[in-house]
Amino acid sequence: MMPVSRERSLVTGANGQDGTYLVEALLATGDDVYAMCHSADGAERLRSLHPTVTATVGDLADEGAIHALIDSTQPTRVFNLAGNTSVARSWEYPAATADVLGVGPIRIYDALWKLSQRTGIKPRMLQASSAEIFGNAAQVPQTESTPRRPVTPYGAAKGFAHDMAGVYRARGMHVSTAILYNHESPRRPETFVARKITMAVARIALGMQETITLGNIDAFRDWGYAPDYVQAMMLIISREEPGDFIVATGESHSVREFLAEAFECAGVTDWHSRVIIDPGLYRPVDPLQLVGDPALLRSIGWQPQVGFTELVRIMVLADLELLRAPVAG
């Protein structure tokens, strides 16, 4: 039997929500996994969870480090998930956001291009693009060809990296984008509204907290389950033809609906008085109708396993369990 050559998969942002699910999925398929984390703590955590992963510390803003990492690992596949994840906070650091989320991926495309020129390796790349590139979209739901109108530094930066993926694809590189809509899980930080809600609701249900304070609960989002989105990334990169793919559920729900569903899951009925609206948490600019049409992705075989109600349930139950668990040590 011919030996099957294993993929050498490099994941940037490996310690984040998606990164951890992706590393697990790649290890399960037998890949050699290399991970770039932003902090030493993150790399250490990953190594202790997965001793076979080669984890390093790196920053997309550091051109030399990115080239050195690509040259030393010689990956056959790169999944770029690195960068600041908070859309709201991209207003605090617009230039750094442009550098890391906009130019950072180009440092990878360039390093991969040069690697392939030098060695003949034909690496594939998956760029984590974002629904934020559509911003105030003229079209609902959005498709791969919807015109882009970003309204945040985050969306504009992701849009540039998205365009450059197309530029390198036209040059002959295997670069695809996953245009990711909001996706959540028990691993999501509380800076995102979904996890903020499920943690607070779990605390309220257990009598550990009285109220939750939120911003605009009439914003709508298309919320999916992070492990389903990681499966989409693996499917997209495995395609013979690279391309752009919307990764979304196609369903739009308001923050208000998420909240109601979460309280119901936790068995709290008298919850309206528990919610405080703070106009200070409203965003100056906020895309209100981001919903994606995943028809193209479904046509190549993507089948998400978890819908909206089940997503909320998974997150609330996980947080109840987390809070009930005895503190270690």
Active site residue ranges: 130, 132, 154
| 217 exposure class (CB count in 10 Å sphere: 0-12, 13-18, 19+) | middle
| Structure-block tokens of residue 7 | 């993929």
Instruction: Map residue 79 onto helix, strand or coil.
Output: strand
CA distances (Å), 20 to each of 45, 65, 175, 203, in order?
10, 22, 22, 26
Question: Which residue, 29 or 213, is less far from ligand GDP as judged by CB?
Answer: 213
What b/e readout covers 118-132, taking b as 16+ CB neighbours within 10 angstroms? eeeeebbbbbbbbbb
Stretch that binds ligand GDP, among 11-19, 57-65, 156-164, 186-194 (CB under 6 A): 186-194
Q: Encoding tokens for residue 292?
A: 């994606």
Q: Does 192 bind ligand GDP (CB under 6 A)?
A: yes
Q: Binding of ligand GDP at residue 174 (CB under 6 A)?
A: no
| Nearest-approach distance from CB 223 to ligand GDP, in angstroms | 9
Q: Which two tokens stand for residue 97?
A: 């956001």
Of the pair 68, 140, the CB lying nearest ligand GDP is at: 140
Q: How far apart, in whole angstroms, are the C-alpha atoms of residue 329 and residue 327?
A: 7
Residue 214 within binding range of ligand GDP, rule CB under 6 A = yes
Contact 287, 154 (CB under 8 A): no
Rounded to 10°, the helix 104-119/153-170 angle is 20
**Binding segment (CB under 6 A) for ligand GDP, from list 61-69, 214-222, 297-305, 315-323:** 214-222
Under the binding rule (CB under 6 A), the answer on residue 193 touching ligand GDP is yes
User: To which residue do tokens 């690279």 refer?
Assistant: 242
Contacts with ligand GDP by CB under 6 A: the residue count is: 18
> Would you count residue 215 as binding ligand GDP (CB under 6 A)?
yes
Nearest by Cα to 134 from 124, 144, 147 = 147
Hey, how many other C-beta atoms are within 10 angstroms of the C-beta on 282?
12
Of 61, 68, 281, 296, the one binding ligand GDP by CB under 6 A:
281
Q: What residues from 87 to 116 belong to the interface with ligand GDP (CB under 6 A)?
A: 87-88
Q: Which is nearer to ligand GDP, 75 or 83 (CB)?
A: 83
Contact 130, 158 (CB under 8 A): yes
Per rule CB under 6 A, is residue 286 in the interface with ligand GDP? yes
Residue from 221, 262, 275, 311 touching ligand GDP (CB under 6 A): that is 221
Q: Is 182 in the site for ligand GDP (CB under 6 A)?
A: yes
Name which of 182 and 185 has its Cβ closer to ligand GDP.
182
196 forms part of the interface with ligand GDP (CB under 6 A): yes
Q: Which residue is nearest to ligand GDP (CB)?
A: 219
> Which residue in the set 11, 106, 200, 255 belongs to the binding site for ligand GDP (CB under 6 A)?
255
User: CA torsion, points 79, 82, 86, 88, in degrees to nearest 10?
Assistant: -100
- Catalog residues that contact ligand GDP under the rule CB under 6 A: 87-88, 182, 191-194, 196, 214-217, 219, 221, 255, 281, 283, 286
